[in-house]
Amino acid sequence: MELGDLLDYEDEIKDDTIPDDIRKKLQIFFGKTLVNISDKYDEVAEFLTQYPNAGFCYEDLIQCQDTDFCSACQKNCKTTPPSKI
């Protein structure tokens, strides 16, 4: 499920009788996690398109959150073609 799917689902169930605590969990925990993931992938999109077969997961990207991925991409692309990664 992606962020857009979650937003569509929330819209679909907005009129349903769902306990407030369950609705809040959906919005806060699951929704926030998907927003964080989406934001991180958007942030490093240029880097990821250069290395489509690298298989980076969200956890990999979070562990390297102090890395300037765009600069790393520009530097690495000059020395190592993305197809060789």
27-67 per-position pLDDT tens digit: 787 778 888 888 888 888 888 888 888 888 888 888 877 76
Contacts of 56 (CB under 8 A, 6+ apart): 48
CA distance 20 to 72: 45
**In terms of pTM, does the model score above 0.85?**
no
| Choice among 12-16, 51-55, 72-76 with the minimum mean pLDDT | 72-76
Sign of the dihedral defined by the CA atoms of residues 38, 44, 47, 51, in that order? negative
Residue 81 has pLDDT above 60, yes or no: no
